[in-house]
C-alpha cells in the first residue's frame, strides 16, 4: 500500500475528464422532480438515444441554478447535481433548432466552473463563512 504522502487529491473530485465521452446538453429546462428513471426515459424516448451508453446527458431547471448530469457507469446510473447559490448557468436559448447541444467534456467542465462557454465569461466567485 502506498504511503499517504503519495496520494494526490484533485481540485474537482467528481468531474468528467477533459478527454472523456461526448456530452449532450438538453436545451429546454427539465422539471427538477424528474430523477434517474424520468431523465433516462427522456433520453431514450425524446432524443432517441441510448441512456446506457457512455455519454453524459446534462439537464438544467427553469431557473438555471441547478445542473444535473445523468450517465451510466458499469452497473448502474449516476445522477450528479450542482446547485449554484447566486449565479445562473449559461444555457443555449430555448427554441434552438435542436433539442440538444453537443459539447466536449472540457466545455462541460468550463460550464460547471461558471463560464458562459458561448461568451467565455465566468460567474462571480461566492464566499460564505460558517457562523
CA distance 64 to 111: 12
pLDDT at res. 21: 87
pLDDT at res. 119: 72
For the whole model, what pTM was predicted?
0.78
CA distance 25 to 28: 9
Q: Which residues touch 94 (CB under 8 Å, ≥6 apart)? A: 27, 28, 29
pLDDT at res. 64: 92
pLDDT at res. 9: 45
Amino acid at each position: 500500500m502506498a504511503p499517504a504522502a503519495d496520494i494526490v487529491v484533485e481540485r474537482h473530485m467528481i468531474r468528467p475528464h477533459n478527454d472523456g465521452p461526448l456530452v449532450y446538453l438538453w436545451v429546454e429546462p427539465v422539471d427538477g422532480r424528474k430523477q434517474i428513471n424520468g431523465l433516462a426515459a427522456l433520453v431514450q424516448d425524446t432524443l432517441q438515444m441510448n441512456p446506457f451508453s457512455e455519454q453524459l446527458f446534462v439537464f438544467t431547471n427553469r431557473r438555471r441554478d441547478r445542473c444535473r448530469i445523468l450517465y451510466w457507469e458499469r452497473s448502474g446510473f449516476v445522477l450528479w447535481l450542482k446547485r449554484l447559490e447566486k449565479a445562473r448557468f449559461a444555457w443555449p436559448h430555448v427554441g434552438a433548432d435542436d433539442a440538444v447541444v453537443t459539447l466536449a467534456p472540457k466545455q462541460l467542465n468550463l460550464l460547471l466552473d461558471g463560464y458562459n462557454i458561448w461568451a467565455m465569461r465566468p460567474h462571480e466567485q461566492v464566499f460564505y463563512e460558517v457562523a
